Amino acid sequence: MSRILFVLPLVLAASPALAQQGHGACARDVSRLCRAVINEGDTAVLTCLKQHRGRLSRACERVLTENGL
């Protein structure tokens, strides 16, 4: 889970506020759906989230959508 603390802010690094919002909104989704790719880097995690779009929490989906991801 600690790796998630670093990955999400980097994936959503458009702004510090966005990074914090993304981490809070998507940390559980990353842990639940993308644990296998956490060590593969930020792009792999973001790709995983997009692949599981239909299973994301509303908050995480909203963060991705609002940021054109």
Residue 29 within a domain: yes
Residue 69 within a domain: no
| Residue span of the structural domain in which 34 resides | 2-64
pTM for the full predicted model: 0.69
Looking at every residue in the chain, the average pLDDT score rounds to: 76
Structural domains counted in the chain: 1
| Residues 42-53: tens digit of each pLDDT | 888 889 999 999
Residue 37 within a domain: yes
C-alpha angle with apex 8: 61 to 27, nearest 5 degrees?
60
C-alpha angle with apex 30: 27 to 32, nearest 5 degrees?
105
